[in-house]
Amino acid sequence: MINGNHLIAGQWVAGEATFENQPAHGPAHQFAVGNPALVDAAAQAAEEAFWSFGYSSREDRAAFLNAIADEIDARGDAITEIGTQETGLPEARLIGERGRTIGQLRLFASHILAGDYLDRRHDTALPDRTPLPRPDIRLMQRPVGPVAVFGASNFPLAFSTAGGDTASALAAGCPVVVKGHSAHPGTSDIVAQAIDAAIKTCGLHPGVFSQIQGGNRAVGQALVQHPLIKAVGFTGSLGGGRALYDLCASRPEPIPFFGELGSVNPMFLLPNALAGRHADIAAGWAASLTMGAGQFCTNPGIAVLTDGDDATRFIAATKEALAASAPQTMLTDGIAAAYRAGRDRIRESGAAQEVLSTTCDARTAAPYLFTTSAKEFLANESISEEVFGPLGIVVLARDFDEVIAVAKSLQGQLTCTLHLDDRDADQGRALLPILERKAGRVLANGFPTGVEVSDAMVHGGPFPASTNFGATSVGTMAIRRFLRPVSYQNIPEAILPSDLI
């Protein structure tokens, strides 16, 4: 079922060059390599499609989103087969992620049908007001135009071809051009086929969706700099995301870049919770830290607590739980190499002690555990940076003042977690105002891996967690990224958009 070519406005287009995917197991496949000329063709088609799709009814767009969900579901077995081969992720994870992807599409369909996202407002005319009359003014949100989406390496479905960025952009009325991730091109290929089938079923302009596979940096640069692209959704590394963000900002017409980049997702273990539940918290942390080989942007890489006997017991329990975790296959050879490099950076910093040492080679990852003092953590920025994989650092503070100092030193995060009991409420109240300035989501007595797709979810945070602290890439509020408010003053009802009447 794998096509191997780019999907450009309903046509499967070959390239002059090809690349081979690197599956963790199973056969390799050839895929066409992208280039800037394909970017231009896709963007031109997306702009043409916008004149119909951007002004389509909410009912038609909801039907389209549900049709994509149906087509993905119909290809479920093929997606699972190629997805497990390319990524090394277990079958259950791919099935679950496919369910999340389908669920996101259906959620956005329901969301736009409800209409609340339009934020409609109406100031009626006051012709007799003095000293000046007031005109009739109506407002609602309108789609921005064609959107570029970059597939993510760690989520071949939920954050890639038909993932949350694509679903929210299409729901808003924005055509999408996807740059597929080279880590899972076969998975992206089959999902693109599903979207193409839904476009044909719904009778939409074929430029509503295009996907360009592979390619070097020139493809990504051409995409974010194309004058017809009006916004970008990205999930990936801090370095790559920052480079693309700078390109968006330096355009003759700057555009918003919604990048979700990196986070260490610190946990703060308060004294009474630590004393009463150190073993349970340790077991939960180890499970969260090793879930999916630690390849989650919400992976809780740091635990901050006050030193003492309870801390010693917590470290021992965490070490025991992590030691029982079997090595896992990582998504790519490059991610595995970066994980080992992050481990070496911590080792060579001289600021941390290795509590659990394992062996990683090739594409496998095993967990590591380090400890450091709050003083060392505050003095050595290198140990506060994200390590993408199952590596944890315990930061030991002398007292609560040092815990506060660590919290204040943090860069922007996707999540911060408090583990506390009722008797820890005073310390919790002191920490919460700091943590809500640092993260988009603050949680208590849980673990941040596993992001609920819902109305109230925020998956974003201050830089470098994301490039726009007012946005989320998960949940229905994600649609706001691809909308802008328009006021209509004294416009006759006969020509007003139907959603305003």
Catalytic residue list: 260, 297
The 3-state secondary structure of 416-463 reads EEEECCHHHHHHHHHHHHHHHHHEEEEEECCCCCCCCCCCCCCCCCCC
Evaluate whether 172 touches 138 at the Cβ level (below 8 Å).
no
Give, as one character, the DSSP assignment of residue 17. S
Residue pair 151/181 in contact (Cβ under 8 Å)? The answer is: yes
Q: Give residue 325's identity as a one-letter amino acid code.
A: S
* CA gap 446, 284 in Å, rounded: 8
CA–CA separation, 440 and 179 (whole Å): 27
Contacts of 340 (CB under 8 A, 6+ apart): 360
Q: Helix, strand, coil % (nearest 5) of the chain?
A: 45, 20, 35
Count other Cβ atoms within 10 Å, centred on residue 253: 8
- Which positions ≥6 away from 168 have C-beta within 8 Å? 108, 478, 479, 481, 482
| Cα 326 to chain centroid, rounded | 27
- Structural tokens at position 193: 């086929």
Measured distance CA(318)–CA(231) in Å, rounded: 43
Strand boundaries in 281-350, DSSP class E: 302-306, 328-329
